[in-house]
Structure 1
Amino acid sequence: MSVTEISVISFGYLHGDPPADANLVLDLRRHFRDPHISPGLRYQTAHDLPVRRAVLGTPGIRELISTAALVADAFDAGPGGAPLTIAVGCAGGRHRAATVAMALADRLRKTGSPVTLVHRDLGKPVVERTVTGDAVAPAARENGEPR
């Protein structure tokens, strides 16, 4: 492969915008079920097996990972050989994005690509949300309850 290096970055949109230097951004928010809605998974992360199983068992996720790897190959086929940054985002960055980023990085490494994996928001606290998925502003909470 001619790509100098591939960076795979997971992030949560509720913590900020995607990395500005991303060549490819995968937005998982609206197309794939959010493990955050399951109380048993809400406070776990992609480092926990039940979260990884839930995310990787979601219809379409494995195909998305395969396709993203093919896109990385297409970038690699170009004459530039410049570094490639793939950003994977979901709402909070703790479940879907981190799991998909981990699986994508593993897959790319198996092809011999030098891959750096960064979880920008994985260690941040869970963002409490409304039923529609909007973040509950900290000022709107009293005693931990949304207004």
Structure 2
Amino acid sequence: MNERDADETDRTSTEATAGEAIGGATIEPGEAAEAAIPELVIISGMSGAGRSTAAKCLEDLGWFVVDNLPPALIPTMVDLGARSQGNVARIAVVVDVRGRRFFDNLRESLADLSAKHVTRRTVFLEASDEALVRRFESVRRPHPLQGDGRIVDGIAAERDLLRELRGDADLVIDTSSLNVHELRAKLDAQFAGEDEPELRATVMSFGYKYGLPVDADLVVDCRFLPNPHWVPELRPFTGLNDEVATYVFDQPGAKEFLDRYAELLRLIATGYRREGKRYVTIAVGCTGGKHRSVAMSERLARRLASDGVETVIVHRDMGRE
């Protein structure tokens, strides 16, 4: 992805504009909110992973987007939005390493938002070290944290800084193999709907030989089932093929595994809803990500959908040789 995060310059006017007009109404930061509290999305993640693309996508979807907002000012921005007479119903703020001196205020700000019962979600954009290095080198810019060291030193420092925020994120998106259009499609799928579901699930098939998906919340292994790859008449096909799927689910333990794992996910989904978690990525793996994991992902997605979970299916490695 030719992401421009690494080429952006710091915007220093954020503090000056926080008390200015939003939606045509000039509000002082200290005034109490009287109108409906806006929905809030916090966009963060690794430099070069696609924050500016994510912000632009939400802006195109009608969100009021503020880039590089110091975390201490997030509650103020929400208060201003609440007093905008309905003109600012959804706010997205980008919090990143450029504002690293403000990260000490983030936990306090999030606690403030929780006390005000603000509907809040955090989107964290992730990418592999190799992908990030390529992107920084393509724009010929240093990493914001590398100092006198190398780009990889800056990336390592940033991962350490953002580790806790990543762990608390509602949605983690790995952009290592995504282009700009694919990232926008993922965000459109999550934020374009008028009615927000209680829980959205991404069921992702993958091949272990290509590595674990870094954005997975749950990982399950289908390699205990016989591999259709070794059946000559099935090898050219994928788990989307009826013959392959029939072969997979005719194996001992396959249907039982699907039933029991679906039941476990019902229990987990109930807990996620109770805790306010809106997004979950379930990774289903086999050796190459072409046969067993694809067939199992398709059936598992159907079970989730029948339980009222809005589900998206992604077959990460199905087209690889």
Task: With the length of structure 2 as denominator, give the TM-score of the two structures.
Answer: 0.37
Aligned-residue identity in percent: 38
Gaps of 5+ in 2: 1-196
Q: Which has the higher helix share?
A: 2
The 2-side partners of 1:97 and 1:84 are apart by: 18
1:120 aligned to 2:313? no
Structure 2 residue matching 1:45: 3-state secondary structure: coil
CA contact (8 A) 1:8 1:87 kept: yes
Match of 1:53 in 2: 246
Match of 1:100 in 2: 296
CA contact (8 A) 1:3 1:84 kept: no
Q: CA deviation at 1:81?
A: 3.1
Match of 2:231 in 1: 38
Structure number with greater CO (CA < 8 Å, separation at least 6) is 1
Inter-CA distance 68–3: structure 2 relative to 1 (3 Å threshold): farther
The 1-side partners of 2:198 and 2:221 are apart by: 23
Superposition CA RMSD, Å = 1.4
**Larger displacement relative to structure 2 (45-54 or 75-84):** 75-84
Structure 1 segments of 4+ aligned residues over 4 angstroms from their partners? none
Gaps of 5+ in 1: 126-147
Match of 1:69 in 2: 262
CA deviation string 1:13-39 (max 9, x = no partner):
12x22212322211112x110011111
Partner amino acid, structure 1, of 2:275: G
Match of 1:26 in 2: 220
Partner amino acid, structure 1, of 2:199: T
Inter-CA distance 81–67: structure 2 relative to 1 (3 Å threshold): farther
- How many matched pairs? 122
Inter-CA distance 76–47: structure 2 relative to 1 (3 Å threshold): closer
Structure 2 residue matching 1:41: 3-state secondary structure: coil
CA contact (8 A) 1:3 1:76 kept: no
